[in-house]
């Protein structure tokens, strides 16, 4: 059989590497993937890799196949076959010394075999015996030693339990650590200038350190520690040795335990500082990055010591400052976490007395950042500008750290001085970039400035009106007002000035977005003061909201809504009329257009108007006395004819449906019980909308209504919500053929989410109703769907039901013959009636159709069913598994044996794991059937 398959493998490999047609390549790749899952792949791979005439691609594929088979299918081989496979791999690895790619694959295969082949007790000794004596095979030994800890730490595809992973980790790694150190030291000392051996040795050391096997204390007792630093002097070893040095420095975080080691390595930083300074002068960003990582890692590791004794770590601090000056912005950002951690340490009571000693460093840091945040030249590409903006966002956090150490006043003063100097420049005028940078810094520091700061902030506000006219400068200045709106609340004399400054920006297309945000923040923080300006706000709002882009219009609306929210309740109806009615009138005009004549722009504008109304309802929450009419609800009543017209005329158009349902959802969220008087009309509208359009938006709104009003603590609203659920269910199941659930996945998803919400809120109302069996059967049909979100909702629905049956209330006595409560009995009866169908569909989904991340969810549902119906569920699982003709008999028997044992032991978690593992194993071996 192997000899028959080998030519086919070679044919498909040729297609994969040589065909020009992408479709042919894809088909060949898929065929080869399927082949690797076949039992015959063991022999074919062995045949191909041992064929002396096979080309590089063939032998590499054979090595990859062996690695795959060992990872997933080693259970196919008994102990004797595994030993034979080990011996064969050891021979093959020795022969592969000339091909790194094949060597790597064989090393991974051997490492995975060692992890699973528990009877192989002499792993390290066998590797050393086979490869240590021959310089030509030294790379094989070092590569194996490198991948072994990586596979044990990271390859969770191996069929090992956590305990087995832990045991093999101890046996293969921890017990061998001392021997590995001796071996690596020997290779370095005898390498004779062989850079490849030195690099491979350092990579191996790095792997064992990352695995946590070789501790810093063990390393410190050997010359390896300083050899890693020595390697930084050699260009060919710079990358790998910098990684090792960073790993060493990371392990020095326990400064008390590692004090002697810190003293040992710290002198190495003086020559490294010169290297960073030289690299900066040469504009060699890569070298700055390499040594900068080392400085930053060292700084982060010794922060507790550094915070106490900054004078002893001046070289380190100067190096980290130098990193921030790099023109490569990614490199400049390397130090940001160090400054953040140092700041958080210094502001604690224990270290606070040392803060003055750090002022010179943070003072330099502010100056560095002020230079780095200046916009690049005009000819910069759009991608570079995006990167620069991201950098400024991140480095702005470091400016906040500086405020915490230097005080906000000192930090604010520095960009203010720079700004004043550049504005007073009598020679060549400053560029907009030079003016904008300190303004950006002022804006960034806002979060750290107290609202009672009266020294620098008044100067900042006064300077805004003196800035030169430029859209970028105006944009930045407007955002300064936005960021300091909390400060303005304590300085209301500036509100009118700021309002005028903000409003004048709406005429500039490049400034309008900043103006909208600033107005929103100002109105939110100063709403109680701004109620005095309501008359001035009205004409401004009505004029500007119609000309702004949608997002800006929403922010301006939110701004005005914050002011309206601060009005006395008695004044709110009139304000809503004056601010909202013009919007409602324009909405009415748009939805009154003949349906055939309405353009896409008309519908978009109408949807925007609905969202603007929704924004008012989102923000305005007046405190209304009990039994008093709620002004916002009364206003909703006034708008009801317009909402009804939206539904009737254009409720089937997605933009209108989405925005209309959002209006009602926000109304329910905001006003809750106050909407009870119009709840029947609202539920009628939801039902009408869904019946007429069958859009998921209305089902989503129904789900929201159930979440808010279905609680059994409020019987009246709960009954109304259940009536809505019944009507929606009737419409759904009458209108859709159950075989076509896939045509409306969003509707099905929202329906079962709604059902789950109701079960959570008022379980008895649903469970004891005649509706539940219909829901149950519909869910069984839905389990054949392909949409992940819909499937997740359906599985969640069943999981909720099973959870109720298994809860303390639903399952009164947890015995082999349980006594159920009323709801539990109803649920148990349904699972008795439909159990075989349920298990079959769940297992079919897990094996064939579910997305991989839902396999665990399906297994969890079956686990709960096993708890509810231990004997019956086992029979249902057996009956289903026996229908899968292509399941390996041994796999099936092992599953059933383990399943029965776990069920008898009441080890329900093991049942979930068994079913999930079985499904995943089957899916991997039978990809064609899943397709």
Summarised one tens digit per residue, pLDDT across range 375-417 is 998 778 889 999 999 999 999 999 999 999 999 999 999 999 9
* CA dihedral (591, 594, 595, 596) positive or negative: negative
| Interval 102-127 mean pLDDT | 95
Buried b (16+ CB within 10 A) or exposed e, 98-129: eeeebbbbbbbbbbbbbbbbeebeebbebbee
Mean pLDDT of all residues in 718-726: 96
Region 298-326: what's the mean pLDDT? 96
Tokens (6 digits) for 859: 């297994």
SS3 659: helix
Measured at the alpha carbon of residue 74, what is the angle toward residues 68 and 76, in degrees to the nearest 5?
A: 120
pLDDT computed for residue 378 by the predictor: 79
Token code pair at residue 285: 């960003």
Share of the chain above pLDDT 90, in %: 83
Q: How many CA atoms lie within 13 A of 230 on its CB side?
A: 10
How far apart, in whole angstroms, are the C-alpha atoms of residue 339 and residue 332? Answer: 12
Question: 670-679, 684-693, 819-828: lowest mean pLDDT where?
Answer: 819-828
Is 862's pLDDT higher than 70? yes
756-768 CB burial, b ≥16 within 10 A, e <16: bbbbbbbbebbbe
Backbone phi, psi, residue 309, to 5°: -130, 65
**Residues in Cβ contact with 27 at an 8 Å cutoff, skipping those fewer than 6 apart:** 15
Section 235-260 average pLDDT:
94
Three-class SS of residue 789? helix
What per-residue confidence (pLDDT) applies to 815? Answer: 44
Nearest-angstrom CA–CA distance, 344 and 401: 8
Rg (Cα) of the chain, in Å, rounded? 35
For residues 33 and 924, give the distance between their C-alpha atoms in angstroms, rounded to a whole number. Answer: 10
- State whether residue 813 is helix, strand or coil: strand
Rounded mean pLDDT, 430-455:
94
CA–CA separation, 887 and 929 (whole Å): 12
Tens digits of per-residue pLDDT, 549-608?
999 999 999 999 999 999 999 999 999 999 999 999 999 999 999 988 999 999 999 999
SS3 content of the chain, % helix, strand, coil (to 5): 80, 0, 20
Q: What is the pLDDT of residues 129-159, one digit of tens each?
A: 999 888 889 999 999 999 999 999 998 888 8
* 811 pLDDT more than 80: no
In terms of average pLDDT, the best of 90-99, 405-414, 732-741 is 405-414
Average pLDDT, the chain: 92
Q: Is the pLDDT of residue 475 over 70?
A: yes
Q: How confident is the model at residue 817 (pLDDT cuts 50, 70, 90)?
A: very low
What are φ and ψ of residue 819, in 5° steps?
A: -105, 115
- Four-residue CA torsion sign, 764, 766, 769, 770: negative
Residues 586, 379: Cα–Cα separation, whole Å: 44
| pLDDT tops 90 at residue 192 | no
Whether residue 526 has pLDDT greater than 90:
yes
DSSP structure class, residue 20: -
Note the pLDDT of residue 931: 38
Are 112 and 67 in contact, with CB atoms under 8 Å apart? Answer: yes
Is 50 exceeded by the pLDDT of residue 677?
yes
What 3-state class would DSSP assign to 820?
A: strand
808 — pLDDT class (breaks 50, 70, 90):
very low
- Strands (E) located in 131-230: none
* Cα–Cα dist 904/916, whole Å: 19
Q: Which two tokens stand for residue 140?
A: 């094989």
Round to whole Å and give the CA distance between 566 and 428.
Answer: 49
% residues pLDDT > 70 (the chain): 97
In this structure, of 173-177, 318-322, 532-536, 623-627, the range with the lowest mean pLDDT score is 623-627
> Token pair 């500008």 is at which residue?
385
Residue 495 scores a pLDDT above 60: yes
Q: Which two tokens stand for residue 63?
A: 């090595």
pLDDT above 50 (res 713) = yes
Phi/psi at 426 (5° precision): -85, -15
Least trusted range by pLDDT, from 163-167, 177-181, 536-540, 625-629: 625-629
Q: pLDDT at position 230, please?
A: 95
What predicted TM-score, i.e. pTM, was given to this entire model?
A: 0.85
Q: What is the pLDDT of residue 896?
A: 86
pLDDT bin (cut points 50, 70, 90) of residue 426 is: low
């Amino acid at each position: 059989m192997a000899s028959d398959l080998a030519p086919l493998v070679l044919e498909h490999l040729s297609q994969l590497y040589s065909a020009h047609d992408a479709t042919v390549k894809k088909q060949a790749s898929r065929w080869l993937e399927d082949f690797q899952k076949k039992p015959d792949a063991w022999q074919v791979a062995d045949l191909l890799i041992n064929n002396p005439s096979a080309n590089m691609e063939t032998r590499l594929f054979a090595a990859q196949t062996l690695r795959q088979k060992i990872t997933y299918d080693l259970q196919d081989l008994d102990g004797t076959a595994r030993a034979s496979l080990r011996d064969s791999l050891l021979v093959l690895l020795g022969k592969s010394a000339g091909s790194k790619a094949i060597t790597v694959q064989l090393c991974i295969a051997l490492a995975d075999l060692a992890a699973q082949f528990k009877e192989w007790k002499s792993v390290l000794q066998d590797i050393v015996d086979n490869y240590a004596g021959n310089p030509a095979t030294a790379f094989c030994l070092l590569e194996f030693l490198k991948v072994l800890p990586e596979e044990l730490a990271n390859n969770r595809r191996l069929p090992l339990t956590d305990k087995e992973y832990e045991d093999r980790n101890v046996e293969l790694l921890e017990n061998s650590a001392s021997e590995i150190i001796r071996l690596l030291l020997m290779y370095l000392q005898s390498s004779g200038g062989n850079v490849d051996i030195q690099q491979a040795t350092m990579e191996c050391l790095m792997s064992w350190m990352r695995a946590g096997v070789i501790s810093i204390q063990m390393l410190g007792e050997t010359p390896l520690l300083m050899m890693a630093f020595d390697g930084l002097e050699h260009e060919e070893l710079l990358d790998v040795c910098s990684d090792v040095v960073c790993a060493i420095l990371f392990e020095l975080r326990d400064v008390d335990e590692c004090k002697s080691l810190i003293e040992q390595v710290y002198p190495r930083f003086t020559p490294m500082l010169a290297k960073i300074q030289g690299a900066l002068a040469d504009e060699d960003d890569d070298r700055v990055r390499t040594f900068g990582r080392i400085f930053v890692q060292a700084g982060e590791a010794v922060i507790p010591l550094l915070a106490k004794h900054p004078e002893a770590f001046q070289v380190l601090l100067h190096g980290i400052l130098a990193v921030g000056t790099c023109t490569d912005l990614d490199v400049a950002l390397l130090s940001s976490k160090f400054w953040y951690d140092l700041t958080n340490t210094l502001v604690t009571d224990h270290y606070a007395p040392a803060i003055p000693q750090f002022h010179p460093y943070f003072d330099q840091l502010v100056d560095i950042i002020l230079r780095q945040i200046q916009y690049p030249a005009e000819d910069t590409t759009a991608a570079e500008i995006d990167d620069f903006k991201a950098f400024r966002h991140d480095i702005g956090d470091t400016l906040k750290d500086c405020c915490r150490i230097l005080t906000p006043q000192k930090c604010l003063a520095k960009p203010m001085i720079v700004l004043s100097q550049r504005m007073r420049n009598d020679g060549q005028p400053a560029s907009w970039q030079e003016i904008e940078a300190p303004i950006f810094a002022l804006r960034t520091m806002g979060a750290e400035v107290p609202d009672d700061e009266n020294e620098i902030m008044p100067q900042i506000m006064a300077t805004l009106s003196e800035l030169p006219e430029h859209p970028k400068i105006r944009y930045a200045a407007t955002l300064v007002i936005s960021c300091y709106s909390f400060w303005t609340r304590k300085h209301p004399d500036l509100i009118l000035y700021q309002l005028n400054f903000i409003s004048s920006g709406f005429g500039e297309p490049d400034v309008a977005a900043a103006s909208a945000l600033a107005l929103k923040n100002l109105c939110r923080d100063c709403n109680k003061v701004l109620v005095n300006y309501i008359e001035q706000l009205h004409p401004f709002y009505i004029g500007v909201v119609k000309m702004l882009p949608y997002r800006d219009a929403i922010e301006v609306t939110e701004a005005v809504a914050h002011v309206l929210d601060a009005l006395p309740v008695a004044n709110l109806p009139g304000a809503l009329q004056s601010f909202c009615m013009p919007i409602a009138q324009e909405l009415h005009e748009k939805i009154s257009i003949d349906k055939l004549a309405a353009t896409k722009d008309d519908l978009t504008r109408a949807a925007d108007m609905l969202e603007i109304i929704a924004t008012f309802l989102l923000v305005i929450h007046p405190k209304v006395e009990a039994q008093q009419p709620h002004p916002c609800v009364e206003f909703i009543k006034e708008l009801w004819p317009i909402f009804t017209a939206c539904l009737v005329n254009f409720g089937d158009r997605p933009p209108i449906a989405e925005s209309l349902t959002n209006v009602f959802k926000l109304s329910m969220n905001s006003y809750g019980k106050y909407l009870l008087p119009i709840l029947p009309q609202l539920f009628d509208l939801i039902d009408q909308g869904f019946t007429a359009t069958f859009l998921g938006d209305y089902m989503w709104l129904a789900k929201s209504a159930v979440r808010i009003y279905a609680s059994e603590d409020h019987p009246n609203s709960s009954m109304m919500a259940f009536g809505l659920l019944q009507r929606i269910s009737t419409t759904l199941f009458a209108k859709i053929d159950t075989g076509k659930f896939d045509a409306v996945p969003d509707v099905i998803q929202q329906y079962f989410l709604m059902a789950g919400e109701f079960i959570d809120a008022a379980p008895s109302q649903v469970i004891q109703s005649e509706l539940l069996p219909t829901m149950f059967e519909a869910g069984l049909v839905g389990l054949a769907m392909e949409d992940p979100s819909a499937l997740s909702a359906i599985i969640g629905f069943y999981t909720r039901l099973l959870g109720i049956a298994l809860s303390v209330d639903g399952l009164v006595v947890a015995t082999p013959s349980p006594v159920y409560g009323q709801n539990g009995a109803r649920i148990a009866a349904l699972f008795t009636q439909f159990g075989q169908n349920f298990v079959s569909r769940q297992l079919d989904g897990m094996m064939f159709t579910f997305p991989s991340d839902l396999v665990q969810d399906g297994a969890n549902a079956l686990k709960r069913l096993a708890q509810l119906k231990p004997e019956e569920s086992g029979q249902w699982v057996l009956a289903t598994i026996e229908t899968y003709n292509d399941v390996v008999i041994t796999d099936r028997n092992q599953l059933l044996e383990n399943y029965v044992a776990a069920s008898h032991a009441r080890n329900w978690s093991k049942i979930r794991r068994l079913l999930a593992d079985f499904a995943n194993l089957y899916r991997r071996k039978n990809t064609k059937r899943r397709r």
